[in-house]
Amino acid sequence: MKSFVLLLLIMLGAFGFSQGVKSKQIEADTNYREDQFYASITYNLINEKPSGLKQSGFSSGFHFGFIRDMPINTRRNIALGLGLGVSTNSYNQKNILIEDINNEVSFSIIDEDDYNVSKNKFTTYLVEVPFEFRWRTSTAEDYNFWRIYTGFKVGYLVYNSTKFKSEILNSELSNIDSFNKLQYGLTLSAGYSTWNFHLYYGLNPIFDVDSKIENNDINMKSLKIGLMFYIL
């Protein structure tokens, strides 16, 4: 009889322990979230270039932020994401001269050989709000999985700078009004585990409607291609 009672107590203890583990597992399954911190490096291209513009060098972008992952199904592999981040983006090119003439910003296409240009770029610094629709093959225990995240990103320009260096002329400007304060576009991140392809396709011009080259609008838009790393 004592042996039976002891066996029963052991069985009840084991059952209670297994239920506790199961409850913790269910709790984990119903509360886990994915990919909430991100970091990305991109190669920045210029879309819809003005006639004659030549892009050169490695134009880099660095992006970091937090996205709140909000699963919308029981398995929690489909989610919405809304976040906040920062980015810095440089655009190296050869022959658009941005300078201040009589307290007005002027844009012109130059012959870089005549100037012997050594540096020509403009840089933007943005606070960004990404919104994503997220699909993945993850579970609460599986950290290596496939993902496809598509979305939309709005950036607010907080600072900008331009730098032109040549044998004939040097020009450095900062925080000029010629840039669009709001910059937005479509995003795509896709990959497996750590390595993910990332694409940003700008929908509106980098410069505002008052920025012109020989009375022609500057409709340059940003195209960013690179890698996305999800940290947690």
Whether residue 76 sits in one domain with residue 122: yes
Q: Which has the minimum average pLDDT: 16-25, 38-47, 83-92?
A: 16-25
Whether residue 20 sits in one domain with residue 44: no
Residue 22: predicted pLDDT: 39
Q: How many domains does the chain have?
A: 2
Whether residue 72 sits in one domain with residue 19: no
Whether residue 144 sits in one domain with residue 106: yes
Can you tell me the mean pLDDT for 91-120? Answer: 88
Q: What is the residue range of 140's domain?
A: 35-230
Whether residue 83 sits in one domain with residue 61: yes
Whether residue 21 sits in one domain with residue 47: no
Position with higher pLDDT, 1 vs 163: 163
Whether residue 210 sits in one domain with residue 95: yes
Residue 24: predicted pLDDT: 41
What pTM did the predictor assign? 0.83
Place of tokens 């933007």: 124
Encoded tokens for 113: 């050989």
- Provide the mean pLDDT of the chain: 85
CATH number at residue 76: 2.40.160
Contacts of 148 (CB under 8 A, 6+ apart): 134, 135, 136, 188, 189, 190
Whether residue 147 sits in one domain with residue 43: yes
Decide if pLDDT at 10 tops 50: no
From 155, 160, 202, select the one nearest 178 (Cα to Cα): 160
Position with higher pLDDT, 5 vs 150: 150
Say how far apart CA 232 and CA 38 lie, in whole Å.
8
Whether residue 87 sits in one domain with residue 27: no
